[in-house]
Structures are given as structure tokens and as C-alpha cells.
Chain A
Amino acid sequence: ETGVTQTPRHLVMGMTNKKSLKCEQHLGHNAMYWYKQSAKKPLELMFVYNFKEQTENNSVPSRFSPECPNSSHLFLHLHTLQPEDSALYLCASSEGNEQFFGPGTRLTVL
């Protein structure tokens, strides 16, 4: 369907847990992104990586920690999250203006 995959698709975690979201793109793009999508709100850009270097951290709390080991993989490490962090987390990649999105991970924090 798309060249961007995300795992897991659904995740339920407690506030004391540590988990990681994974994103992989098969499009040969140089830039990768993490977005948070909450109900009735615009997509919120969290992090941008360009050629594996983080170029943007949009005032995201430190309980979210991104990692980009290479230009095809992007992780979002989660620890001590809050219930308000429950949302759909979307990964995207791009070579230019057009961004290609993965299906997202539906995260629920209990």
C-alpha cells in the first residue's frame, strides 16, 4: 500500500512502562518525521530527521525520545507517559515537499 510501515499498529501501556514505536520507509527518502494526531486537532509535528540528523524538536517532552539509526528507520522511545499522550502516532518520510505517511500506531496510556 505505502512504502512506510509502522509497528506495532496498536499499543496499550501503563504510565510506568517503557516501549518503542518503529517506523521503516522503503522509498529511499532522506527525511523522516514523527507526528502526533489527537482527535479534532491538527497533526502536531514532533520530530524531523534529515539524513539521520535531527533538525527539529517541536518542544516535545523528554518522555518521548526519537532515534534514527539510518535513513530508513526511525524509532520513538516512550517512557513514563501520561494518559493525555494517548493518540495516533504517525511516521512520514519525504524527499521533497510531499510527505508519505505510514498507517500509524494507536497508543493508549492507562
Chain B
Amino acid sequence: GESVGLHLPTLSVQEGDNSIINCAYSNSASDYFIWYKQESGKGPQFIIDIRSNMDKRQGQRVTVLLNKTVKHLSLQIAATQPGDSAVYFCAENVRSNDYKLSFGAGTTVTVRA
């Protein structure tokens, strides 16, 4: 069954505000997590990843937070722009499964002008 999920299927954000997208996972053995962005008509594109030995990682305008205690992952987007409108997926990898990723259903983010 699905081991990765997102709290909300849709998120509407005012341009310039910060966005927070949440993801819950159930497999405590997962040691690698990744966020993807999928725009309409395109395949998923890598945003940021984090390993289980970290609880925070920052990229350009994005921050991923990992709370292993409650098995929760979040993606924060600072100063959300119209180009951030897309579907966002979290995925997890369990070490023993080598390259296999398990994906959540996705959150559709819509940025309001």
C-alpha cells in the first residue's frame, strides 16, 4: 500500500506569500526523501532532497524540514511566484530497496496574482 501521503490535495497561495506543503510517511525505515515539482505537460522535476540524518535543508527559495519523530516532511517555498504553480510530490526511499521511490499523491499549488 501507499506509505507516503500528503495532507492536502490543493493549496491556494497569494503571490509573494510563503507556501508550506506537508507530507506524512509511515515507513520508519525510510532514510531518504525527495520533493518533485510537476508542471502541466511536463514530467516531475527535482526540487530538493534530504537524508534522515538531517532535519533541515535549504535550497534556493525552498526549505525541506524532516521530523522523524512524527514521520512528517514539509516543503516551504519563500515568496511564492506564479511559476511555482504546479503539483508537488514527496517521495521516500528505503535503503534496502535500493533505487525504489514511493510517491505521495501530490498537492496542487495555485498561486493567486
Bound CA span A102–B34, Å: 17
In chain B, residues 64-93, which have Cβ atoms closer than 8 Å to a Cβ of chain A?
89, 93
| Total CB contacts across the A-B interface at under 8 A | 54
Q: Which of B32, B34, B93, B103 contacts A42 (CB 8 A)?
A: B103
Decide if A101 touches B32 in the complex (CB within 8 Å).
no
Residues of B with C-beta under 8 A to A55: 98
Residues of A with C-beta under 8 A to B99: 31, 33, 48, 50, 94, 96-97, 99
In chain B, residues 17-72, which have Cβ atoms closer than 8 Å to a Cβ of chain A?
32, 34, 36, 41-46, 49
Decide if A97 touches B45 in the complex (CB within 8 Å).
no
Decide if A90 touches B43 in the complex (CB within 8 Å).
yes
Decide if B103 touches A99 in the complex (CB within 8 Å).
no
B residues whose Cβ falls under 8 Å from a Cβ of A: 2, 4, 9, 32, 34, 36, 41-46, 49, 89, 93, 98-106
